[in-house]
Amino acid sequence: MTRPILTVPHDALRAICAPVTHFDAALAALTEEMFAAMYAAPGRGLAAPQIGVLSRVFVMDATWKTGDHTPRVFINAEILTADPALVVNEEACLSIPQQTVAVPRPRAVRLRWQDLQGGVHEGDFDGTDAVIVQHERDHLDGILCTDYVDLP
């Protein structure tokens, strides 16, 4: 059974998540549940607090809707650098159903994260990938895409 995705105004969506310190079978199982919920929704990214787990974990698959699956897991992710140039994209969020908002974000970011074994990685993200990693990374600090705009 797939875990339900929480929707606003659930308190977990505003929580600051705890760093992951145990890289074990339970963490791997959590990410599998997250992918199942994300694909079923259907979304391109999902953060742990969206299923009620207050840990610094998110998953993404930017290409599965238009091509091959490219599932990726990000644990304890931090943005190291952000391009000063901003781009505005229409963003949707699985926790805010049937609403999109125009969100200005850095065009590109450099990220550091850990994998399921605790290994540390760094990488550059731009385009759709940059939007997704920034959107999901925000969830880990209780930030929603709607926080970037003034809504009536």
Active site residue 33: no
**E strand map for the chain:** 45-47, 57-60, 72-82, 86-93, 96-106, 108-114, 120-126
What string of DSSP letters covers 53-87?
A: --BSEEEE-SSTTTSS---EEEEEEEEEEE-S-EE
Q: Residue 81: beta bridge partners?
A: 110
Running DSSP on this structure, what letter comes out for residue 2?
P
Determine which one of 78, 91, 122, 136 is catalytic.
136
Write out the catalytic residue numbers: 136
